[in-house]
Structure 1
Amino acid sequence: MEELHIKELGFVNTEIIAIREHFLMTLSIDDWELISFVTAEEHEEGDEFLKLPTGRWVYFEEELLRKEMLYQID
């Protein structure tokens, strides 16, 4: 069921795998909703952007990055 919801957000299998591998923590459905697609022109250098294997770019909301940082500290 979770996989279906993630795909409804617009992600394909290879993108899901790449994003899951990018994070040490397990992403919840709420976490996936903090990830948005951006155009190549909108992305900048930094941890909040990731180029996916499909060539598309995603942006990670600050809340998600903060959660990952806290996870790594624990």
Structure 2
Amino acid sequence: MPEDLEKQYQAKGLLRAEMARRNSSYEDLAEKLKGIGVEENPKNFSNKVGRGSFTAGFFLQCLEAIGCKSVRIVDGSDD
């Protein structure tokens, strides 16, 4: 699998995991994004995350909106 595709899957997984930890749905997060000035339709947001096709900036906006201050990135190798 190409490395960029692997990174898209990793980013998608990280965002979904953080949403799950906070029991946040796509609708919840779309509403929270509005609170920080980012207009995102819940359906489009769901599709974007499902594809993993979002920018690093959008990823950080999502983390900010759900109150996530840090994420642990594990690449599968020994720590």
Is the TM-score greater than 0.5?
no
Which protein, 1 or 2, shows the higher relative CO under an 8 Å CA cutoff with sep ≥ 6? 2
Q: Given the two structures, how large is their TM-score scaled by the length of structure 2?
A: 0.30
Q: Could you say which structure has the higher strand fraction?
A: 1
